[in-house]
Amino acid sequence: MSSGHKKRNFQIEAFKHKVVVDPKYAEKTWKILEHAIHEIYNHNASGLSFEELYRVCPWRFILEELNTKWSDHNKALQMIRDILMYMDRTFIPSTRKTPVHELGLNLWRDNVIHSDKIQTRLLNTVLELILRERTGEVINRGLMRNIIKMLMDLGPLVYQDDFEKPFLEVSADFYRAESQEFIECSDCGDYLKKAERRLNEEIERVSHYLDAKSEAKITNVVEKEMVANHMLRLVHMENSGLVKMLLDDKLEDLGRMYALFKRVPIGLPTIRDVMTSHIRDTGKQLVTDPEKSKNPVEFVESLLDKKDKYDKVIASSFNNDKTFQNALNSSFEYFINLNPRSPEYISLFVDDKLRKGLKGVKEEEIETMLDKVMMLFRYLQEKDVFEKYYKQHLAKRLLSGKTVSDDAERSLIVKLKTECGYQFTSKLEGMFTDMKTSQDTMQGFYSAHGSDLASGPTLVVQVLTTGSWPTQSSITCNLPSEMLALCDKFRSYYLGTHTGRRLSWQTNMGTADLRATFGNGQKYELNVSTYQMCVLMLFNNADCLSYREIEQATEIISSDLKRCLQSLACVKGKNVLRKEPMSKDIGEDDVFSVNDKFTSKLRKVKIGTVAAQKETEPEKQETRQRVEEDRKPQIEAAVVRIMKARRVLDHNNIIAEVTKQLQSRFLANPSEIKKRIESLIERDFLERDNVDRRLYRYLA
């Protein structure tokens, strides 16, 4: 076609002649459609009506027939909807009539499912089959899935009203009766297994042939009837409840209880409260048991074993639940502080481990042990009491050279520093500094006087800074003349190289190595304390000495002298002295002589090694008094800090804030805080308000 031709427009024109429509066209067309619909149904229908089915079929077969009829009905509906597609798409929406497919479903619902002769029997049959499945029979799940899906296809209300509501009611009755039967004849562990199995069965049933939305509803029924209604009875069940499970480490049963109780309201708080009560009761028994308190190391090991046990329970059975961990921590903090000697015992435990208990232990295991100690330390309300004892025990370890690992010692100090700050550990670090400085000092001393000292005894001195080490009353004893001359030489050297310093000897903290020859010619090297050395050296000039003569010659205080003589004369295998009369205790009328028959398999014999021991009652009172004195300036400093910031504050608030500020070190006593406030008022740091006497003002 050439480009010059014009484009032609096509038009559809009306008939030129008159068109006559058959007035019976619609009626004839409907008859054709009606016949087609009948043919569709007649082609798919069986020879029996539902009336006949109702009369002759056992109900276990009617579900199959109903399923078949439903399938046929769906196929017929599909074909009819295809035939009437144009009407469904145009006429139905404009006239707001019911669509063909929906109309077919409604007819099935009203004439079949809601039929008087079918509705009740259908529900009863489905519920009976579910009951049979619950009691162990195998049913046709595929058929059940089709029947339930039919109800769901007919609309959510049909599924809910005709099946789900009655199903949940019947299930509640079933599990109510079964749970009562189970709990009467089962222990707690077995009951929980049955409840767990039933819950899993219902979840599985939903996945096979019920609506997914029914899962939450049916599990709620099982949880309420089998768990929530019996919670208290289960946890308190005699010989099998929660406490028994905890005692017997039944981790699997505990995990099952946690998982089931987590599904119901107040389930976990119920477990947590019973567990907390049990831990507090058993913990209180442990820390107040006089037998356990006899051995501080065993006391602390019992605490650590208990903590390990419940940490494992919470990790393995309670899904590391933070609320359970918090309950465990609060329980330990409660009972560990019931025993006022807990800080001392924890320090003694550390002392035992760092002296001898960690020999041959791997570094990772040492760190684990130190972390456990720190965990117990955090529970202490009186951390300053622990610090006081720890400083004493550390001093003895360092001075006697008995620490197993300097790295372990420093690691623990780093952990304490991280936990409590620099102020808590500054003096402990100072102790290590003194030990290093003392080594340098001794090198200088022997460099200056080495030629003069070659033939005499060897002296090793640790020079301790007074503020860093535990305060010790200066206890003197009469040293042997050989040692006294050497000590005087060191004093002259030290004071000559350092100005403005003063030395006082702490003979009660020293050790000595002696070479001894006994009557049978046997030679040994004895490792003893300074006190023991002073006693043994007396026997170079005397064959036997009475207790009073030894006391007079050495001037060692009575309690220390008796312990010293006891270790020299009464310990089997280390009795280098003989005592008359023989007994375990030292009397003031006893007489001592060298044990000429002493023998030992070892060339070097350690006698009375310095070991931290549980304090006696007077020593305990003295330590407590020193702690209380140390607290006074800390309380005053806290009061001044708070008042400087707030300027004006009432009595109750200042007590609360001081307690909060100091709780990382100790639990401040309100009466002591009040005394410190009075002292600060007397020294013009604070004043009382003229009108309200409970109000304090800061004086700049």
Q: What is the DSSP-derived secondary structure letter of residue 571?
A: S
Say if CB 301 and CB 261 are below 8 A apart.
no
User: Which distant-in-sequence residues (6+ apart) come within 8 Å of 63 by Cβ?
Assistant: 122, 125, 126, 143, 144, 147
CA-to-CA distance for 38 and 33, rounded, in angstroms?
9
Q: Which helix (H) or strand (E) holds 435?
A: helix 422-453
Q: Give tens-digit pLDDT for 481-504.
A: 888 888 888 888 888 888 888 888
Q: What is the DSSP letter of 546?
A: E
Among 259-263, 468-472, 635-639, top mean pLDDT goes to 259-263
Hey, is 570 helix, strand or coil? coil
Q: What CA–CA distance (Å, rounded) separates 318 from 258?
A: 6
Structural domains of the chain sorted by starting position, each given as residue range(s) with its CATH number in brackets: 24-125 (1.20.1310.10), 511-606 (3.30.230.130), 618-698 (1.10.10.10)
Quick: pLDDT tens for 440-451.
888 888 888 766
Task: Render pLDDT for 164-220 as a digit per residue (tens, 0 to 9).
Answer: 999 999 999 999 999 999 999 999 999 999 999 999 999 999 999 999 999 999 999
The values of phi and psi at residue 157, to 5°, are -65, -35
pLDDT at residue number 197: 95
Question: pLDDT for 261-315, tens place per residue?
Answer: 999 999 999 999 999 999 999 999 999 988 888 888 899 999 999 999 999 999 9
**3 state SS of 528:** strand
Average pLDDT of span 598-611: 74
- pLDDT higher than 50, residue 48: no
Taking the C-alpha atoms of residue 686 and residue 680, their distance in angstroms, rounded to an integer, is 6
Tokens describing residue 648:
């004006």
pLDDT, residue 40, reads 58
Contacts of 188 (CB under 8 A, 6+ apart): 234, 235, 237, 240, 241, 242, 244, 245, 253, 257
- Which 3 state secondary structure label does DSSP give 257? helix
Average pLDDT over residues 541-549: 88
In a 3-state reduction of DSSP, which class is residue 487? helix
- Give the Cα separation of 546 and 581 in Å (integer): 11
> CB under 8 Å to 520, separation ≥6 — which residues?
596, 597, 599
Report how far residue 295's alpha carbon sits from residue 700's, in angstroms, rounded to the nearest whole number.
52
Q: Using alpha carbons only, how large is the chain's radius of gyration in Å?
A: 47
